Every structure is written in C-alpha cells, then in structure tokens.
Chain A
C-alpha cells in the first residue's frame, strides 16, 4: 500500500521569503514522487517529479524538491515566494509498477505581499 502525508493544512509566508511545503510518503517498493499545484476551480498542474537519480529535482516556476530516502520525505521548496504562488499544493506518490497515484490531503499556500 502507498500513502502520502502533508502535515500542514496551511502555510503562510511573506513575498520574497523562502517557501517550504512538507511531504512524507510510504510505499512498499521504489517511490515515484510528484508535486502538483491547483488554482481555484482548475485542474492540477504538474510541477516536478522524482523517479530516480539526483535527489534534488528542479521543476516549473522556480520550484524544487529534495528526495530523502532515509526520512521518506519529498519537501517542495522555493527560495523566494511570489504572491502568485498562492494556491493548493498536492504531493503524490506512485509505487513501482503501478499507474495509480495516491495524493496527500493538500497544503494551502498563502503568500502575502
């Protein structure tokens, strides 16, 4: 069985400050990890993924995430947040050989000007 935990319902940061959205996962095999962002009344937009290789993954809009196997974490980061980054963020995991994605509960990010 696979699962994802996003421990924070809400993250608030000031514009220009670093942004971190936390995610931990559980899988039986090798994890394939994804981050998506959702704006109100819209579908999910793909930000980045980790399949294998370098633990630091860079994605769209200046976001990056670090895969940490020992801590089973895949936290999303952005060095300098923008007001336009305010949205709902989902971490998702897929187990080896499985198409199905399991999503975290989501974290609402609010960046204040």
Chain B
C-alpha cells in the first residue's frame, strides 16, 4: 500500500509554545489530506481537511486559529498547534487518499504530543 509518514513521532513541549507536525505522502501525490485527533482508547475525531493550494476546512468545534494547517505541496501538509496547553495533549494522525473518493485513505504513524 501507499506510505504516509509523520514527523515527529513524539514531542514534548512547554505550555504556551507552538508545535509543528508534518505529514508526507511518500509515494503518491495528495491534493487532500486529513488531520485526526485520537484520545486514549477512543476513536478518531476528524479535525480538518487539508487542501493543497487553498484553505483548510475545519470541522465544527475545532479552532482554526489554534490548529493551523498548511498544505504547501502535493506531498506535504503541516499542522501547527499554537500556544499549546495541556489539554492539547493527544495523538494526532494524518491520512491521505491515493486518488479518487473511492480510493483507500492511508494513515501516518501518528504523533504523540505531550504539553507540560
């Protein structure tokens, strides 16, 4: 299957700082990527849809000024958690479909964010 990478895999930061997470499609181009948040032993919550060359689409209740998304190229989307607080601590996962809407979404390995 297709490969999606995330960096970093784990990050610890102080409250009030910003953290950037990268999501890359390694062997295919993705005009659309998705960012999810997962709490322990819980399902995935879609945060936003990242669109190459245009603004991201955020799900209801997700603060777009706090979770900045930039889809700079056909293989890279970034999620920046601004002014992070302990309640932002979570497992963040990105995904990308390989083509049309019938195609499979492939997921990155996730990033564990811990805000102290």
Give the shortest distance, in Å, between A67 (CB) and chain B (any CB).
Answer: 14
Q: Is A34 in the interface zone, CB < 8 Å from B?
A: yes
Give the shortest distance, in Å, between B45 (CB) and chain A (any CB).
Answer: 9
Chain A contributes a number of interface residues (CB within 8 A of B) equal to: 24
Number of CB contacts from chain A to chain B under 8 A: 56
Q: Which of A41, A49, A104 contacts B112 (CB 8 A)?
A: A41
With A41-B110, A41-B112 in contact, do A105 and B34 touch (Cβ < 8 Å)? no
Q: Is there contact, CB below 8 Å, between B43 and A103?
A: yes
**Which of the candidate stretches A19-27, A79-87, A93-101 sits at the interface with the other chain?**
A93-101
**With the chains together, A103 CA to B43 CA distance in Å?**
7
**Which of the candidate stretches B13-21, B76-84, B96-104 sits at the interface with the other chain?**
B96-104
Q: Which of A32, A43, A51, A104 contacts B107 (CB 8 A)?
A: A43
Given contacts A34-B105, A43-B4, A46-B104, 8 further A-B contacts (CB under 8 A): A32-B101, A42-B110, A43-B6, A43-B110, A46-B106, A99-B49, A100-B34, A106-B41
Q: List 6 A-B contacts (CB under 8 A).
A: A42-B109, A44-B44, A45-B107, A100-B46, A101-B46, A106-B42
